[in-house]
């Protein structure tokens, strides 16, 4: 098994859209066809994101901007939209929602919510969401950026009957400080992770209220 770890920080389209996320690509022993349905990147309709492969929905904050799937793949510097075979998927962004449309505001910070999926099939180091976030923290700590972690462990939070492992991170990068809340759950041989990024308490409340609507069918 070969493991590559990268931290990706995207600052896109003329003003700062902070999307700090990790890419832990586990090239696992996932040979053969998947036992699950065709992979679904999901769609947003009337302010609700739906995904048939992971069988969940979540509301997007009112009047927020969402990226197209092509834009999501551009953030990852790759495009897997032609594949619906789960075994061919490594890491993809399923949803990017931001408070403002990139390039359309004078704001210096754009709070956002990203949901991404990482194929972990065959990786024996990841038995639950807490394992995944532990590896994420190890990758983040290799970066020369000041980060603080309020919790030493990955507390589990139940949302509508589903258990999410969580991690909070506060980052200081130059003269900018912002916080992130990670929520991870394992579904269909993938680590499904939501990352909420915010700079103020009001932004945190809006994001957490939106994510609290996530519902697995």
User: Any residues with CB less than 8 A from the CB of 69 and at least 6 apart, and which?
Assistant: 41, 81
Q: What is the pTM of this model?
A: 0.84
What does the pLDDT average to over 109-133?
94
Residues 1 and 115: beta-carbon distance below 8 Å: no
pLDDT band at 191 (very low <50, low <70, confident <90, very high): very high
Question: For residue 56, what pLDDT is reported?
Answer: 98
Instruction: Give the CA distances from residue 33 to residues 28, 86, 165, in Å, rounded to whole numbers and listed in that order.
Output: 14, 8, 29
Q: What ranges in 27-128 are assigned the alpha helix state H? A: 69-75
Q: What is the mean pLDDT of the chain?
A: 82
Is the distance from CB of 6 to CB of 138 less than 8 angstroms?
A: no
Q: Say whether pLDDT at 19 is over 50.
A: no
Architecture of domain 2-27+42-216: 3-Layer(aba) Sandwich (3.40)
Size of the chain in residues: 217
Q: What sections of 32-143 are H helices per DSSP?
A: 69-75, 129-140
Q: What is the pLDDT of residue 41?
A: 93
Residue 36: its pLDDT value, please?
53
pLDDT for res 204: 96
- 120: helix, strand or coil: coil
Q: Would you place residue 78 in the very low, low, confident or very high pLDDT band (cuts 50, 70, 90)?
A: low
Q: Residue 33 has what pLDDT?
A: 45
Side-chain-side CA neighbours of 8 within 13 Å: the count stands at 22
Instruction: Look at residue 108 and tell me whether its pLDDT is greater than 60.
Output: yes
Mean pLDDT of 148-174: 92
Q: Which residue has the higher pLDDT, 105 or 19?
A: 105
Does the structure show a pLDDT above 60 at 97? yes
15-29 mean pLDDT: 42
**Domain positions in the chain:** 2-27+42-216
pLDDT grade for 105, boundaries at 50, 70 and 90: low
Q: Reply yes or no on whether the pLDDT at 17 is more than 70.
A: no
């Amino acid at each position: 098994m070969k493991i590559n770890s990268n931290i990706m920080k995207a600052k896109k389209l003329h003003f700062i859209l902070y999307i700090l996320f990790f890419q832990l690509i586990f090239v696992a022993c996932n040979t053969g066809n998947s036992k699950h349905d065709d992979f679904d990147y999901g769609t947003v309709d009337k302010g609700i994101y739906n995904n048939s492969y992971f069988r969940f929905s979540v509301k997007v904050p009112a009047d927020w901007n969402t990226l197209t799937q092509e834009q999501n793949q551009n953030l990852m510097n790759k495009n897997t939209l032609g594949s619906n075979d789960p075994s061919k998927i490594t890491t993809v962004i399923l949803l990017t929602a931001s408070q403002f449309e990139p390039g359309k505001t004078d704001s210096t910070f754009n709070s956002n919510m990203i949901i991404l999926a990482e194929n972990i099939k065959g990786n024996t180091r990841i038995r639950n969401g807490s394992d995944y976030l532990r590896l994420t923290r190890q990758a983040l700590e290799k970066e020369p950026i000041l980060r603080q972690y309020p919790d030493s462990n990955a507390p589990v939070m139940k949302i509508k009957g589903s258990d999410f492992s969580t991690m909070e991170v506060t980052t200081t990068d130059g003269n900018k400080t912002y916080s992130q809340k990670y929520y991870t759950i394992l579904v269909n041989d993938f680590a499904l992770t939501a990352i909420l990024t915010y700079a103020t308490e009001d932004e945190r409340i809006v994001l957490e209220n939106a994510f609290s609507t996530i519902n697995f069918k």
